[in-house]
Amino acid sequence: MEWIQVPEEGLSLREIRRLTNRAVNLSADVEQAAAAILEDVRANGDEAVRRLTKKFDGADLQDFRVTEEEIDEAVASVGEDLMAVLREAKENIEAYHKEQVRKSWIREFRPGVRLGEQYEPIQRVGVYVPGGRAAYPSTVLMDTVPAVVAGCPSIAMATPPGRDGKVNPNILAAAKVAGVKEIYKVGGAQAIAMLAYGTETVEPVFKIAGPGNAFVAMAKRLVYGTVGIDMIAGPSEVCCVADGSANPKWIAADLLSQAEHDPRAAVFLITTDAEFGKAVQAEMEVQMKQLPRYEIIKSSVGDYAKAFLCRDAAQCFDVVNKIAPEHLEIELPDPESYLPLVKNAGAIFVGKYTSEPLGDYMAGPNHTLPTSGTAAFSSPLGVYDFVKHSSVEIYTEEAFRKISRKVQLFAQAEGLGAHAHAMEVRDED
């Protein structure tokens, strides 16, 4: 773990970005490869999807849609204990996200002028669920339940198959719980292409959500404009603000829980207590050797673990806000009192018993979060990602005539005579 002594004057945003950079920018090689796949699927449809699935996943599929029988088999295989956990998680996620639902409204702003917003769910959305280093049934729930709550009438899910042509049963079980029936055994950039452009057997969508590897992320970036996307998600990260009042064993475990995701995952400890920080570091060294994904954790911690030593809490949260972490844990005395200091974070975990994995699985808020500093300008996935709104404007004749001349003057000032004319013809009649 690299230690950084924060100077009295603090660290600039530029310095923070330099210190926390993980070289996650998508390369020209990745862009070229993803672009070629997108064009192949756009031009060749189902044939390209089959060919690319065989090439990248080793699965030779004629029909890549998951059948109801396959879903039922998956549900039977995972057992009732996991199904019960999935159902409880779904209920928690659903209850939280129902609070995000916005209703259409219209009200009178001025005499004869009614204005409002009309909210509508996106009519068809695609959800990508990764299946590389691990299968994530939690991501199925997190990325589909908000779409269901939003009222999207059509949801298509894509996820990579194994070499045997089957989807991980935990993934299918979670989809069953979420109520998603249209599932495709397609992964990578070819899945994004299939969802964005459609094929002979798959209708295109209007928006794509869900995390993935570098090729998936690049493909999402390249299809943006043809479809909407939720975000470009990079490797995971967690930031913990803690002092000597916290248990170093617990803090170490929380940091390692994110390091196991990816060799490029980042963990940040921010503290005012050097001795406590060293104790956390020592615990990390001990615990990581006992964990099954040791090699991934070792790479993440070795390359991207940082400890910031600050003079006080205010400086700690200044560093937090410049990092803009995906996950933020606050383990200080009276931790909730520090919430007003947090300006940039994807998800905030408050207090020693609010361990980050709670948010990954069972708490209810979404775990698809902005990464790599993007929490400074973007938000967790939510119902609002699956809804759009239109403005509504209603004028009476009296209200129109009262403002018509002003609109004409505005239009004429911009040289738009047809705009002015559209008002004039109504004034004349």
Tell me the per-residue pLDDT of 375-385, one tens digit each, with 9 for 90 and over: 999 999 999 99
- Residue 349 located in a structural domain: yes
Q: Would you state the pLDDT for residue 132?
A: 59
Domain termination site, one of 229, 264, 290: 229
> pLDDT tier at 233 (50, 70, 90 boundaries)?
confident
Q: Taking residues 225-252, report their average pLDDT.
A: 95
| Domain hosting residue 320, numbered range | 2-23+235-364
- Cβ atoms of residues 377 and 369 within 8 Å: no
**Rounded mean pLDDT, 349-374:** 96
pLDDT reading at 429 higher than 80: no
Same domain membership, residue 218 and residue 97? yes
Cα gap 110→91, rounded to integer Å: 43
Boundary-marking domain end, from 364, 385, 406: 364
Sign of CA dihedral 297, 300, 302, 308: negative
Per the structure, the count of domains in the chain is 3
Q: 388 lies in a domain?
A: no
pLDDT at 133 exceeding the cut of 90: no
Name the domain boundary from 201, 229, 257. Answer: 229
Question: Is 131 a residue whose pLDDT tops 90?
Answer: no
Residue 128 counted as domain residue: yes
> Does the pLDDT value for residue 374 go beyond 90?
yes
3-class SS at 237? strand
What's the pTM value of the predicted model, to 2 decimals?
Answer: 0.94
| Same domain, residue pair 134 and 70 | yes
What local confidence, expressed as pLDDT, does residue 391 receive? 98
- Same-domain check for residues 98 and 138: yes
Is residue 330 assigned to a domain? yes
Does 298 reside within a domain?
yes
Same domain, 216 and 248: no
The candidate with the shortest Cα–Cα distance to 321, out of 348, 342, 349, is: 342
Mean pLDDT in the chain? 96
Kindly state the average pLDDT of the residues 161-172: 94
Cβ contact 304:19 at 8 Å: no
Domain shared by 262 and 307, yes or no? yes
Number of neighbouring beta carbons within 10 Å of residue 123:
13
Confidence (pLDDT) at 126: 98
Interacting residues of 95 by C-beta distance below 8 A, sequence separation 6+? 364
Is there a contact between 270 and 241 (Cβ–Cβ < 8 Å)? yes
For residue 62, give both structure tokens.
Answer: 């004629």
CATH code of the domain in which 78 resides = 3.40.50.1980
HSE value, Cβ hemisphere, 13 Å, CA-based, for 123: 2
% of residues, the chain, pLDDT over 90: 94
For the stretch 384-405, pLDDT in tens is 999 999 999 999 999 999 999 9
In a domain, 198, yes or no: yes
Give yes or no: residues 130 and 192 share one domain.
yes
Instruction: List the catalytic residues.
Output: 326-327
Within a domain: 383: no
Whether 202 and 286 map to the same domain: the answer is: no
Give 31-45 as a 3 state SS string: HHHHHHHHHHHHHHH
The residues near 385 (Cβ < 8 Å, ≥ 6 apart) are: 146, 207, 209, 230
Same domain, 57 and 198: yes
In this structure, the answer to whether residues 214 and 88 fall within a common structural domain is yes
Same domain, 49 and 182: yes
DSSP string, 295-338: HHHHHHHHHHEEEEE-SSHHHHHHHHHHH--SEEEEESSSGGGG
- Residue 327 and residue 349 in contact, taking contact as beta carbons nearer than 8 Å: yes
pLDDT tens-digit series, residues 263-305: 999 999 999 999 999 999 999 999 999 999 999 999 999 999 9
Instruction: Evaluate if residue 23 carries a pLDDT over 90.
Output: no
Alpha-carbon distance 134 to 67, whole Å? 23
Judge if 223 and 332 occupy the same domain.
no
The residue count of the chain comes to: 429
Residues 84 and 221 in one domain: yes
Determine, yes or no, domain membership for 386: no
**Which residue type occupies 90?**
K
